[in-house]
Amino acid sequence: MDDYSSKQVENLDDPPNSRLFVVTSRSISEDELRDTFSIFGDIQGVWVVKDKQTKEPKGISYVKFARSSQACLAMEEMHGKVISEGTKPIKVLIAQSRSSTRHRDVEDEELTRIFVTIPKSYTEEDLKETFKEYGDIEYCVILKNKATGESKGLGYVRYYKPSQASLAIENCDKTYRAILAEPRNKATANEDYPGSDFSLECPGTNCDASLPGPADPNNYQVIDYRSGEFTRSLMVSTRAGLTQEQLFALFDLIPGMEYCELQRDAYGIGKGHALIRYSNLGSAVYAKEKLNGFEYPPGNRLVVNFIEDGEDRSGSVGRMAMQFVAAQMMSAVWNGPSTSQVMKPSNFSAMPISRIQTDVNLPPPKKLAPPDSKAKERLFVVFSPATLPTDILEDVFCRFGSLIEVHLVSGRKVGYMKYADKQCADEAMSVLNGRMVNGVRMKVMLADPPREESHKRLRTY
């Protein structure tokens, strides 16, 4: 990247996450970018990246804000918008440090969770009450000593939007020492729901604030069955846009389910949590053990935990019931599932899960267009959090007709869909843009037309 000097800004990465990476049409000028983004805050610099040889814009720019919250809000509001008539929608990401090539998008969970130091007397409600003024909170977690159950004076607050988390960091009382939380192992730490099994790294050098890592759903020893802390009620957390009907069908495979409710917000949109209740402890324990960590749809791991259901288990009947379930489960550990007395639905191993799980009604599959067909339109697709397999994408995008081929870009979470008919491509884009397929959200837009044959001298290496 040339002509990217720091004369105007002493430190381009101060504060962190205050610089935007913007992909635009090559015709967009620096002045247009400045005018467009200035409504979100104090702009410290705008840089349009140009080709070293031709000095022509590459369609990539950087916008530096004075505050992280300003940059995050600009990303949330401008990603996918059109700056000027006749140009393509822009892509807006949070630029990482100059030593990194990775950028963060609006759905990056690492931008929405903060780590705070709090009084040990705080409850989760106190923590939520303190930080709710900066935005809608998805959940709060207070870290506790495993032996005593006492608070460690540390907690996590997860917001729905990056701008909300950065506002909290910037404006909360400095005694909270709020900073963004980072997963201990970014390759494996992919679940972080309230009360779930997740592992995080605590800032500082003397912080022992780890929680158990993701559990193997077939490992019955992940729970201390002597504790008696299991109930007939379960809380299910999911990142994919599952419907109540899908959750009901899945958990109803274990006999005894009497209640299933997907929690929704004021607009009727699912919050990603559902309450499941069984008629007996055995079914609930078996469902938790079998389905915690289960991928449904493929690529989306469910997090299943017991929640307090208000029942009194201090009496002799309650204690006997829990001891009986514990004995059943311990029998499964020592003797193997085949000898377990716990209920085993005969059809559990052959769950009726469709190959395609999506939050939109799809037309039936259609034949691909001949490989030698001329491409009349191309779609550009961005995947989050991971790329879908080619065969799944073919199955989804062929349903609108005239699909020629699917091309995935190696090493990146993007791909191209080539169509022999423009109308078919437009229909696919209108139906699939922003939708979830097998736990992956897709952003579908028109691809740039292929570049005309260039007369520039070929670069040699």
Same domain, 47 and 117: no
Q: How many domains does the chain have?
A: 4
What the block records as the tokens of 216 is 């193997």
Containing H/E element for 94?
strand 91-95
Flag whether 459 is in a domain.
no
Same domain, 304 and 240: yes
Q: Domain boundary residue among 308, 329, 348? A: 308
Q: Domain boundary residue among 46, 78, 98? A: 98
Flag whether 1 is in a domain.
no
CA nearest neighbour of 208 among 141, 153, 140: 153
Flag whether 339 is in a domain.
no
Burial class for 52, CB neighbours closer than 10 Å (0-12, 13-18, 19+): exposed
Same domain, 141 and 161: yes
Same domain, 115 and 175: yes
Same domain, 36 and 94: yes
**Contact partners, residue 345, CB within 8 Å, separation at least 6:** 253, 254, 255
Q: Domain boundary residue among 98, 128, 145? A: 98
Dihedral sign (CA 427, 428, 430, 431):
positive
- Concatenated DSSP letters for 184-215? S-TTT-----TTS---EEPSSSS-------PP
CA nearest neighbour of 92 among 119, 63, 69: 63
Flag whether 141 is in a domain.
yes
Per-residue pLDDT of the chain (461 residues; tens, 9 = 90+): 444 444 455 567 778 889 998 998 888 889 999 999 999 999 999 999 888 888 888 888 999 999 999 999 999 999 888 888 888 899 998 887 655 545 665 556 678 889 999 999 999 999 999 999 999 998 898 988 878 888 888 989 999 999 999 999 999 999 998 988 865 444 333 333 333 333 333 333 333 333 233 333 333 333 333 334 567 888 898 887 777 778 888 888 888 887 787 777 655 566 678 888 888 878 888 888 888 888 888 778 888 988 766 565 555 555 555 555 555 554 444 444 433 333 434 344 434 445 677 778 888 889 999 988 999 999 999 988 778 888 889 999 999 999 999 999 888 889 999 999 999 999 999 899 988 887 788 899 998 776 544 444 545 44
Same domain, 119 and 175: yes
CA angle 230, 115, 385 (to 5 degrees): 75
Residue 184 has a pLDDT of: 42
Helices 422-432/390-397 angle, 10° precision: 110
Flag whether 227 is in a domain.
no
SS3 category, 252: coil
DSSP-assigned letter for residue 220? G
Distance CA 202, CA 208 (A): 7
Residue 267 has a pLDDT of: 55
Burial class for 248, CB neighbours closer than 10 Å (0-12, 13-18, 19+): middle
What the block records as the tokens of 1 is 């990247």
Residue 38 has a pLDDT of: 93
CATH of the domain at 91: 3.30.70.330
Flag whether 360 is in a domain.
no
Q: Model's pTM, two decimal places?
A: 0.43
Q: Distance of alpha carbon 253 from its chain centroid, rounded?
A: 27
Same domain, 237 and 299: yes
Taking the chain, what is the end-to-end CA distance rounded to the nearest angstrom?
A: 17
| 285 and 330 Cβ atoms separated by less than 8 Å | no
- Concatenated DSSP letters for 379-441? EEEEEESSPPPHHHHHHHHGGGS-EEEEEEPTTSSEEEEEES-HHHHHHHHHHHTT-EETTEE
Same domain, 93 and 114: no
| 250 and 243 Cβ atoms separated by less than 8 Å | no
Flag whether 324 is in a domain.
no
Number of H-type helices and E-type strands within the chain: 9, 20
Same domain, 116 and 143: yes
CA angle 113, 119, 121 (to 5 degrees): 110
Residue 315 has a pLDDT of: 53
Neighbours of 294 (CB within 10 A): 15
CA nearest neighbour of 200 among 169, 133, 154: 154
**Contact partners, residue 132, CB within 8 Å, separation at least 6:** none
What the block records as the tokens of 92 is 């807006």
Same domain, 87 and 114: no
Name the E strands within 282-375.
303-306
Same domain, 94 and 113: no
Neighbours of 198 (CB within 10 A): 21
Q: Which domain covers residue 123, as residue numbers?
A: 109-180
Flag whether 83 is in a domain.
yes
Same domain, 86 and 145: no
